[in-house]
Amino acid sequence: MTLPFLRIPPFPGHRAAPLAQAGETRPVDGTALADRLRQARVGGTFWAAVSAMPEGRRVLVSVSNPAAAQAVARHMRNLDLMEKAAALGRIPGLDGLPRLPAPSDPWHLCAQADRVIADAEDEILLVAALCGCSVEPVGAGRFATLADPQRLEETVAAELSRWTYSDPFGRGRIAPAQAVDLLADWRRLIDANRPVAAIYGIARWKRITADNLLWDGSMPVRHDRAAREVPQASQALAWITRSDARTLAELETRGVRIGEIEDGMIRSTGLGANCVPPLSIVVDAKGPHFDPAQASDLEIILETATIPETTILRARKLRERLVSGGISKYGQDSQRALPEDGPPRSNGRKLVLVTGQVGDDRSVLCGGGGLDNLELLRRARGHEPDAHIVFKPHPDVEAGHRKGHVPDARALEFADEIDRTSSIASLLDRVDAVHVLTSLAGFEALMRGREVVTHGVPFYAGWGLTRDLGAVPARRTRRRSLDELVAATLLLYPRYLDPVTRLPCDAETLVDRISGGQANVRSALIRWREFQGRMNRAFGWLTGR
């Protein structure tokens, strides 16, 4: 069976149709596609394990099928290259050669080789030619033309145009160049995961989605590996709040660098506290984005990156879509009222939202300046003495699973009302300003053009877009536009998963699924956690907590 040169990596459990199907597409520009393939380093089994050529061996030998082995072996013996070659997998007749695991990433191998010999049906010849190797096709086949280096672009055009390509996320036919770009996104994700020797603290109910965003292309995700098994000076990732502190300490004594995993900013259509698995995560090698004690990867992007205009335009369109669709971290508010349909302002007073947070959440502990929800309310009233203040408790606290409850009587000492029923999106549509510690609601308010006052140090403070009352680090010197902030936060930093195909995707695809009602996840565990939360809330109300 002939495989297309461009195909989807075998992400665990993915449910997508093939990227390429039999059938010719319109003529393509072989030169432009060759350049695109070289830059992206995709095609063939690019996701496979990275292997090293043995020292002193610069000739790579491969066969695409057992029937071709005899001819390739005979060709090799005639060339007298046995002392200079290595075989990709076992090749009958060439058992004396050092053997590399098959499959391996052909782009990495060909970058180490000077010469590649294979049967003319082996796609590694095309990779080798694109990498600048001398190639020797043996016999007849679709890559026999590569014997003439001048025919590389012609061969690229012929191979890529003999297939038709479909967007795996259901957007219809795409051009070969678009297929290459999609594979390039997956290549970058897989390459980022390759150095990770172990992952800690991801609950089993999260792995069904998180694993496809952490897969290294060749091995199952290595969860909760014993510290002694992790190579010294390697890299590990951890969901810190769910990881064993002793294991992490042992890893650090071995010189293992520990990056952090957290929920993304467009997470799911349900609460993590109810065990709804995330459809977006962030992976930060420097530390959590909510801890101002050190610069996270997100902060470094915001401080140093030159963000292309095309990405800023994407960010603006995404922002407008999130706002118009009422989409926030935990899904879409399909029943929200438009701003003009909401309750009237109270006697024309400024309407201010104060967002409660989980009391022991790490973002509050790291960036909240030692303040709690009640103190946030008190300070907000101090800065907004004439405003109508609405207090919105955090949904995880309201669900009965987390700390941070403020008794109504205490909250109403500073707030005019407590809103437990409106979604955060609908409230942000109504208000004039938002006061936060570190809440993501402040970022969502910025996207809606609202005034945002930060009493802690969230990731979006210090870039010229917020009124900052917390101790923002002096290292945040860059002034950013709103859409640059959105681009960094929602496009450049997180990883997203399509709940339909279980393939990594872009932010726009996940928003499509949420808008279309295709991101809803239900399970017995989720239903149990929702019931448990109702019981916790009922107990709290009965006991006055």
The mean pLDDT value of the chain amounts to 91
Fold of 333-477: Rossmann fold (3.40.50)
For residue 33, pLDDT beyond 60: yes
Q: Hey, do 20-166 and 333-477 end up sharing a CATH topology, with the first three levels equal?
A: yes
Per-residue model confidence as pLDDT tens digits over 247-265: 999 999 999 999 999 999 9
Whether 152 has a pLDDT exceeding 60, the answer reads yes
Q: How confident is the model at residue 533 (pLDDT cuts 50, 70, 90)?
A: low
Q: Summarize pLDDT for 12-29 with one digit per residue, the tens.
A: 999 999 999 999 888 899
Task: Determine the pLDDT at residue 535.
Answer: 54
How much is the pLDDT for 404? 82
The domain ranges of the chain are 20-166, 333-477
pLDDT score recorded for residue 395:
78
CA 400 → CA 66, 397, 405, 449, distances in Å?
61, 5, 9, 32
Mean pLDDT of 95-124: 97
**Is the pLDDT at 536 greater than 70, yes or no?**
no
CB 376 within 8 A of CB 458: no
Q: Is the pLDDT of residue 345 over 70?
A: no
How many whole angstroms from its chain centre is CA 120? 38
Position 429 pLDDT exceeds 80 = yes
pLDDT number for residue 334: 59
List of residues 6+ apart from 93 with CB closer than 8 A: 69, 70, 72, 73, 74, 77
pLDDT at 522: 52
Which one has a higher pLDDT value, 507 or 329? 507
Residue 272, pLDDT above cutoff 50:
no
Contacts of 368 (CB under 8 A, 6+ apart): 357, 437, 438, 455, 456
pLDDT above 90: residue 276: no
Output the pLDDT for position 437. 98
Question: What pTM does this model have?
Answer: 0.90
pLDDT band at 538 (very low <50, low <70, confident <90, very high): low
Span 20-166 CATH architecture: 3-Layer(aba) Sandwich (3.40)
- List, for residues 360-372, the tens digit of each pLDDT value: 889 999 999 999 9
Cα-Cα-Cα-Cα torsion 451, 305, 506, 43, nearest 10 degrees, comes to 180
Judged against a pLDDT cut of 70, whether residue 383 lies above it is answered with yes
Distance CA(59)–CA(56), nearest Å, equals 9
Apex 23 CA angle, 18 and 24, nearest 5: 120
Asked if residue 270 has pLDDT above 70, the reply is no
pLDDT over 90 at 103, yes or no: yes
- pLDDT grade, residue 350 (50/70/90)? very high
- Indicate if the pLDDT at residue 52 is higher than 70: yes
CA–CA distance, 425 with 54 (Å, rounded to integer): 58
Answer yes or no: are the C-beta atoms of 452 and 442 closer than 8 Å.
yes
Q: Where are the alpha helices (DSSP H) in 53-163?
A: 69-79, 106-110, 124-130, 152-161
pLDDT tens-digit readout, 495-528: 999 999 999 999 999 999 998 887 666 555 555 5
Q: Give every strand in the sheet of 85-88, ordered side by side.
A: 99-100, 85-88, 59-62, 115-119, 134-138
Q: What is the pLDDT of residues 474-497, one digit of tens each?
A: 999 999 999 999 999 999 999 999
Per the CB < 8 A criterion, the answer to whether 72 and 91 are in contact is yes
The predicted structure's pLDDT at residue 397: 81
Cα–Cα distance list, 526 to 13, 177, 212, 533 (Å):
21, 41, 21, 11
- The span from the CA of 116 to the CA of 113, in Å, is 7
Mean pLDDT score, 72-84: 92
Q: How much of the chain, in percent, has pLDDT values that exceed 70? A: 90
341 — pLDDT class (breaks 50, 70, 90): very low
Taking residues 143-158, report their average pLDDT.
Answer: 97
277 cis-preceded (ω within 30 degrees of 0): no
